[in-house]
């Protein structure tokens, strides 16, 4: 199965309005919609519930995932011995998407490192975590990954570096688009208007 997938190390949000809501390490705001060429735009989040989302390997979102102020937020306050969020895990959409155009805004906290994964294979017999292609979301100035070109914000992680350095500083908004249609893939990262 192929899912559009949002992986957040500490936290994140999807929002269907124009609100800008903090959510810890990593967050999104609108337009967070996905376009399918034949049907127009589909909303990925209703702004109120986790309907349409589940934790990797489960049928519902784990309890650390919450909706707060119109945002999906991972409460990362409780950690285990390995510094992993208790009852967190990787958050995926229930629906599958193949050809899509995803537009969103994101910002990251100081030293934060996360990603937006897509074409995830949800097969718990083969993988312990969500595996897929990844657009990197990272604080380029304050995280170790920011020192490596193919690990900087907006990169196709570990494969292709961004062609320009346009990612804003931590806690500042970035507009992003991932377009994966008919066998082509493009990432666009621009300063919000």
How far lies 123's CA from each of 2, 85, 117, 127, in Å? 10, 21, 15, 6
DSSP letter for 167, please: P
Rounded-to-integer distance, Cα 62 and Cα 44, Å: 18
Whether residue 39 is predicted with pLDDT greater than 70 in this model: the reply is no
Q: How many C-beta atoms surround the C-beta of residue 189 within 10 A? A: 24
The predicted structure's pLDDT at residue 191 = 63
Q: Answer whether 0.95 is exceeded by the pTM.
A: no
More confident residue, 20 or 104: 104
How would residue 79 be classed by pLDDT, with cut points 50, 70 and 90? confident
Q: For a pLDDT cut of 90, what percent of the chain falls above it? A: 21
Q: Which CATH architecture has domain 2-190?
A: Sandwich (2.60)
How far lies 53's CA from each of 5, 11, 20, 66, 72, in Å? 9, 15, 21, 11, 10
pLDDT, mean of residues 54-65: 91
The full set of domain ranges for the chain reads: 2-190
Q: For a pLDDT cut of 70, what percent of the chain falls above it? A: 76
Burial of 28 (0-12, 13-18, 19+ CB in 10 A): buried
Q: Provide the CA 73 distance to its chain's centre, in angstroms.
A: 12
| Model pLDDT for residues 135-178, shown as the tens digit of each residue | 998 999 999 999 999 999 999 999 999 988 889 998 888 888 88
How would residue 77 be classed by pLDDT, with cut points 50, 70 and 90? confident
The predicted structure's pLDDT at residue 192 = 56
Residues 6 or more apart in contact with residue 82 via CB below 8 angstroms: none
Identify the residue whose tokens are 């929002």. Answer: 15
């Amino acid at each position: 199965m192929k899912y559009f997938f949002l992986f957040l190390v500490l936290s994140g949000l999807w929002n269907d309005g124009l609100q800008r809501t903090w959510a810890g390490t990593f967050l999104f705001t609108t337009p967070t919609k996905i376009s399918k060429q034949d049907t127009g735009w589909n909303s990925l989040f209703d702004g109120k519930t986790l309907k349409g989302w589940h934790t990797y390997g489960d049928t519902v979102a784990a309890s650390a995932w919450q909706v707060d102020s119109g945002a999906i937020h991972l409460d990362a306050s409780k950690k285990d011995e390995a510094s992993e969020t208790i009852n967190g895990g990787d958050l995926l959409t229930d629906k599958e998407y193949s050809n899509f155009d995803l537009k969103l805004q994101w910002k990251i906290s100081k030293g934060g490192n996360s990603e937006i994964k897509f074409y995830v294979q949800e097969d718990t017999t083969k993988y312990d975590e969500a595996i897929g292609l990844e657009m990197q979301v990272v604080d380029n100035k304050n995280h170790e990954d920011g020192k490596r070109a193919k690990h900087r914000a907006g990169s196709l992680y570990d494969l292709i570096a961004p062609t320009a350095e346009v990612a804003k500083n931590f806690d500042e908004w970035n507009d992003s688009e991932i377009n994966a249609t008919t066998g082509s893939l493009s990432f666009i990262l621009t300063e919000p208007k």
